[in-house]
Chain A
Amino acid sequence: MSILIDQISKKYGDHTVVDQVSLDVDDGELVVLLGSSGSGKSTILRLVAGLILPDEGRIMLSGVDITHLPPQRRGLGFVFQNYSIFPNMTIAENIEFGMKIRKVPLRERKARSEHLLELVGLPGMGSRYSSQLSGGQQQRVALARALAYEPPVLLLDEPLGAVDTKTRIQLRQSLKSILKDIGVTTMMVTHDQQEAFELADRVAIMNNGQIEQCGLPGDVYYNPATQFTADFVGDINFFEGRVTASTTEECEIELFGHWPVRRRGSHPFQPGRNVLYGVRPEQIRVSLLEPETYENGIKGVIEKSMFFGDVTRYSIRLDGGSVLDVRVLNYLFIEGMVMPYELNEEVWLIWSQGSGIILADETAPQPNGLSTAS
């Protein structure tokens, strides 16, 4: 079943939590709402579930308007962040609850609950209580319970938010395979970017009650539409620059007034336009040698290095005065492919002219007559 969220808004007092949000989720698709706490993502999920009602807009389920239906009549599956497994019921009774309400015969309920426990990797645990299970096991029970009555849509509110990092990674994989097997239309909320990218068919980035960008994980990461999105998904170094030349094939930008960098592809910025130029740390390599003509390069001095296990992060002060972060895979040092860099050593930072993000710098004054469109 598909979901259509059309211009919904929700206010608490004077505070707008969800601001004219529109989003569509196709049948069988998994869309993840990714945002920091307070961005309004959980409120959207609760609006879809019917736990709260919108002030404006409408919500459609396969073309049927469900905006004002109570949650009981929507029949959707909901997994809460704290799981909310009923403590007075056994795990099996919890899973069977939705079916019991729907008057499914006892034998059928039992069979389905056993099947679901097997599906989520908890066979034979039906007679236990929630307090006897770990956080990860409770999460699986919550999922099984939400799937028990075969809802047309599954809503997951930070489903892996309350478990430790290792369990989270394991659960992420099993969640993905279960959801893929079932093929249920799913909306999930998380603040964890890795989780979103791993599970989502599409990611919607939320900020201040609005969707900043919605697209495939790769698109959102490599072609962010706003500085917020670029910043929110992964690390990025941003510099103020000015477009010096722009053709259908490439765009030349001057950083710090004297460092030219190029970006392949067509861009809508005219020469003279102030822009933000961003490059992700993993796209940059550190070298003692000058860049090739088909590469971008800036000179800098190693100011700080930090060991992170798999990578070393170097903070490099550039000629223009800014500091840029670069990550170097540590195995390159171990294999002798790259010599470790010393503090205060002068190096080149080099990256491909095919990478780099150009965004309109809305804060910078623009020369007269130039387009402000990005």
Chain B
Amino acid sequence: MNQGKAFYKKISHMLPAGFLVLVLLPLLLLPLASVFIYALRGGLGNLAAALTTTDVLFALRFSLIIAFATAVINTVLGTYAAWVLSKTRFPGREQLGIILNLPVAIPNVVVGTSLLLLWGPIGLFGQVLEPLGIQPMFTPVGVLLAHVFVTFPYMLGTIKPVLDDLETTYEEAAYTMGASRWQTFLHVLFPALKGGLLTGALLTFAHSLGEFGATVMVSGNLRLRTQTAPLYIFSQFESGNIQAANSVAAVLAILSFALFSLILFLAARTGKKGAQRGK
């Protein structure tokens, strides 16, 4: 009787973890695994051949450049916005914080559409710019604009809580010791933000790398001009070229996995460092 009870207890303890491993994990991993299985179906030679075509090399390089530029731009813009929202006081500050986070709530396709409506040839700004020979839509600039827009809240969301937690008296202490605002930022705030900046930049980079909805609207999906890696995958699927699509999908999956591992590693290291200093 007692043995039965103990067994029942053991099972009931393991049930939540068992459900996670046996049901949810396969749900998440199987699609990912299928990408690799299909990518490798024709052998490594075919995979290598699929990855070295001009179109694929352009799409991957273009995606990496756009992701890098987006991360750099949003590191500056996001940090600035976080600093303004966290360290200055003005009426409507909270409302502004909500508005700046809107890109997370709006579907990316809608973002793409709205950018087209604004900057496109018949858009509000586009109409003015076109006679001057400037047309950002369907160019790399348009893609960058869309990526900056949709990934903006990631940097803001990473940096603002760090700044919120950083007591104002640190800055005030620096001011009383004679430091200017810039010196205070450089010597006091920036070192405290370093970890957050790196995490936010990687997060922005990873999201930009995988961005599809807004990109497809603003880029025109022009091969060798504005086609990012996710757009290439989509195009190849549409034209029935599953092997090529899966090969690039596998590369994107590996890149994203590596990036998120790096983010997790950095987060763990920052925590460990803090704990060691605390000893």
Contacts and interface: CB of A to CB of B under 8 A. Distances in A.
Given A51-B172, A71-B172, A131-B277, A82 B188 contact: no
Nearest to A85: B173
Contacts of B167: 82, 84
A70 interface: yes
Contacts of A84: 167, 169-170, 172-173
Given A97-B177, A97-B179, A87 B192 contact: yes
B191 to A, nearest CB: 4
Nearest to A75: B178
B217 to A, nearest CB: 43
A152 B177 CA distance: 12
B271 to A, nearest CB: 13
B191 A72 contact: no
Interface residues of A, number: 28
A75 B176 CA distance: 7
A78 B173 contact: yes
A241 to B, nearest CB: 48
A98 interface: yes
Contacts of A102: 178
B179 A80 contact: no
Interface string B237-279: 0000000000000000000000000000000000000100111
Contact of B175 (A71, A77, A145): A71
B160 to A, nearest CB: 19
A51 B172 CA distance: 7
Contacts of B274: 131
Contacts of A87: 192, 277
A66 to B, nearest CB: 13
Nearest to B192: A88
A97 B184 CA distance: 11
Contact of A132 (B170, B187, B279): B279
Nearest to A88: B191
Interface in A294-309: none
Nearest to B170: A84
Interface string B175-205: 1111110010001100110000000000000
Contact of B278 (A77, A131, A149): A131
Interface string A64-106: 0000001110111110101010111100000001100110000
A132 B277 CA distance: 6
B180 A72 contact: yes
B176 A71 contact: yes
Size band of the interface chain B makes with A: 20 to 34
A51 B180 CA distance: 13
* B169, B274, B278: most-surrounded residue (chain A CB, <10 A): B169
Contact of A78 (B172, B180, B183, B187): B172
B170 A86 contact: yes
B177 A145 contact: yes
Contacts of A88: 188, 191-192
A89 B170 CA distance: 12
Contacts of A70: 175
* B172, B183, B274: most-surrounded residue (chain A CB, <10 A): B172
Contacts of A71: 172, 175-176
Contact of B177 (A51, A82, A131, A149): A149
Nearest to B190: A88
A82 B172 CA distance: 12
A189 to B, nearest CB: 14
B174 interface: yes
A239 interface: no
B182 to A, nearest CB: 11
A132 B183 CA distance: 26
A49 interface: yes
A197 interface: no
A89 B180 CA distance: 18
A79 to B, nearest CB: 9
* B174, B180, B192: most-surrounded residue (chain A CB, <10 A): B174
A129 interface: yes
Contacts of A72: 175-176, 178-180
B277 A101 contact: no
Interface string A114-137: 000000000000000101100000
A131 B178 CA distance: 24
Contacts of A145: 173, 177
Given A78-B173, A88-B192, A132 B178 contact: no
Contact of B176 (A76, A86, A89, A131): A76
A132 B173 CA distance: 20
* B176, B183, B277: most-surrounded residue (chain A CB, <10 A): B176
Nearest to A130: B277
A333 to B, nearest CB: 49
Nearest to A101: B178
Nearest to A52: B172
Contact of A101 (B169, B177, B278, B279): B177
Contacts of A78: 172-173, 176
A344 to B, nearest CB: 55
B175 A51 contact: yes
Nearest to B178: A101
Ordered nearest first, which 10 A-B pairs have the shortest CB separation? A98-B177, A88-B191, A78-B176, A84-B169, A84-B173, A71-B175, A101-B178, A131-B278, A80-B169, A131-B277
26 contacts: A49-B172, A50-B176, A51-B172, A51-B175, A71-B172, A72-B176, A75-B178, A77-B176, A82-B167, A82-B169, A84-B169, A84-B172, A84-B173, A86-B174, A86-B188, A87-B192, A88-B191, A89-B191, A98-B178, A101-B177, A101-B183, A102-B178, A129-B277, A132-B278, A145-B173, A146-B177
